[in-house]
Amino acid sequence: EYHCPVLNKAFTEFTHIVAVKTTGNVFSYE
């Protein structure tokens, strides 16, 4: 399960996920 370090909440299947390939970080897109 992915977790957004910025919004500090777990991703759900309804959450848009943006993966930064250059850093490998994963953020939720809202």
Structure tokens at 3: 């977790």
pLDDT tens digit string along 1-30?
Answer: 565 666 656 655 556 656 555 555 665 555
> What pLDDT was estimated at residue 29?
55
Structure tokens at 4: 């957004």
Note the pTM of the prediction, 2 decimals.
Answer: 0.17
Strand partners, 20: 25
Task: For tokens 């850093």, name the residue.
Answer: 23
Contact partners, residue 18, CB within 8 Å, separation at least 6: 26, 27, 28, 29
